[in-house]
Amino acid sequence: MFDALKKSFGRIADTLAEVSGAGITLDEKRINEILDDMELELLQADVAVDVLDRMRDEMVRQLSGKKVKNRKEAMDAIRDALAELLALPAPQIAPPPKKPYIILFVGPNGVGKTTTIAKIAYKLKGSGYGVVIAAADTFRAGSIEQTEEWAKRIGVRVVKHDYGADPAAVAYDAVKSATARGEEYVLIDTAGRQDTNENLMEQLKKIKRVVKPDLTIYVGEALTGNALLEQLRRYDEEIGIDGVILTKMDADTRGGSAFTVTVGAGKPLIFVGFGESPDDLKEFNAEELAGTILGQ
Ligand code: GDP
């Protein structure tokens, strides 16, 4: 995981320690020079240009006027800088702020939306809550069956219509039945296309109008690279995004995507997915991820 960033920041830490070891106090100019040397590597690790600028500012804030004693101290300062960039206040999922608590999941096809919804349903059910999944992806062949299979596996209810049905009607029915049964959560799965087309956006807007979700979560995959920022912004402009889940962190060798979400798009990370089993979902923790990125 995150080999590219780990290597780059390891080298930055070495250089910071070397400079300090030669008796030089770190200042803005030195720190920027060191980061200039690593810029290409960081860009190749999916760190976007504006993210890189914020990283510079944060590292200058953490390190200028200091001499680090050794590599470990340099790494700790880098970890604090990264955690600062990743930490944004995330919306609360559990306990449910209201009942039923309606969460709309959106994002491109194939990123792991259905799997992620199943993982969340599994977590919530394990905490004793009633959960219903709305199979509102009525577009992609097989999606309804996939949702049903997951729901059976983890023991939660699904509300579905036929393929081609209006997704807003599916979502509406799910909310209605959860209300009638006193269930705490409605998780709405939606269609995604690789190219975010107008028709899809109109469908998502209609779901929002009809069921007024309490939370709209963008699900994206860590492997998307630079296209992630553009996709996320588009969804945010069109329908409004409250928070983000990044999937496939286990397969990400570059590591920049979390920064794209928090610094680039200014959206909080809520969960990260790191595998294909129901348990492979973690609540996002900035310090922990910063440590993992650095191999700590
Ligand atoms: P959707 O089209 O967005 O609903 O995506 P799916 O939920 O069908 O997932 C697409 C593929 O990604 C499936 O093979 C999943 O098992 C896989 N997947 C989902 N989340 C993760 C994850 O966190 N890590 C890995 N390695 N694979 C995942």
123 in a domain, yes or no? yes
One domain for residues 275 and 131: yes
Residue 21 belongs to what domain range? 3-86
Q: How far is CA 132 from CA 171, 211, 235, in A?
A: 10, 14, 24
235 in a domain, yes or no? yes
Residue 136: what residue type? A
289 in a domain, yes or no? no
Task: Compute, in angstroms, the gap from residue 224 CA to the centroid of ligand 1.
Answer: 13
Task: Compute, in angstroms, the gap from residue 106 CA to the centroid of ligand 1.
Answer: 14
Which residues on neighbouring strands pair with residue 221, listed in sequence order? 247
258 in a domain, yes or no? yes
One domain for residues 145 and 110: yes
40 in a domain, yes or no? yes
Number of domains, the chain:
2
One domain for residues 114 and 251: yes
Residue 288 confidence (pLDDT): 94
Rounded to whole angstroms, the Cα distance separating 7 from 241 reads 33
Q: Based on DSSP, count helices (H) and strands (E) in the chain, helices before strands.
A: 11, 8
Boundary of a domain, candidates 86, 113, 138 = 86
Which residues on neighbouring strands pair with residue 146, listed in sequence order? none
Boundary of a domain, candidates 86, 120, 139 = 86
91 in a domain, yes or no? no
Residue 194 confidence (pLDDT): 62
138 in a domain, yes or no? yes
The CATH number of whichever domain residue 214 belongs to comes to: 3.40.50.300
Q: Can you tell me which atom of ligand 1 is nearest the CA of 137? A: 4
Rounded to whole angstroms, the Cα distance separating 49 from 11 reads 19
Mean pLDDT by 10 residues, the chain (296 residues): 88 93 92 91 86 91 90 92 94 95 96 97 98 95 95 97 95 98 98 76 95 98 89 94 97 89 95 96 95 89
Q: Can you tell me which atom of ligand 1 is nearest the CA of 111? A: 3
pTM of the model: 0.94
One domain for residues 262 and 198: yes
One domain for residues 75 and 132: no
209 in a domain, yes or no? yes
Pairing of strands 269-273, 281-283: antiparallel
Pocket of ligand 1 (CB under 6 A): 109-115, 192, 247-248, 250-251, 273-276, 280
Task: Compute, in angstroms, the gap from residue 223 CA to the centroid of ligand 1.
Answer: 12
Among protein residues, the one with the nearest Cα to ligand 1's atom 9 is 112
One domain for residues 200 and 154: yes
Residue 111 confidence (pLDDT): 95
Residue 193 confidence (pLDDT): 73
One domain for residues 151 and 272: yes
235 alpha carbon, distance to own chain's centre = 14
One domain for residues 167 and 229: yes
Task: Compute, in angstroms, the gap from residue 88 CA to the centroid of ligand 1.
Answer: 25
The CATH number of whichever domain residue 30 belongs to comes to: 1.20.120.140
One domain for residues 74 and 115: no
Among protein residues, the one with the nearest Cα to ligand 1's atom 16 is 276
Residue 195 confidence (pLDDT): 60
Boundary of a domain, candidates 38, 60, 86 = 86
Q: How far is CA 52 from CA 58, 237, 293, in A?
A: 10, 24, 15
One domain for residues 128 and 242: yes
Residue 28 confidence (pLDDT): 94
Q: How far is CA 207 from CA 44, 119, 190, in A?
A: 38, 22, 9
One domain for residues 119 and 260: yes
One domain for residues 205 and 237: yes
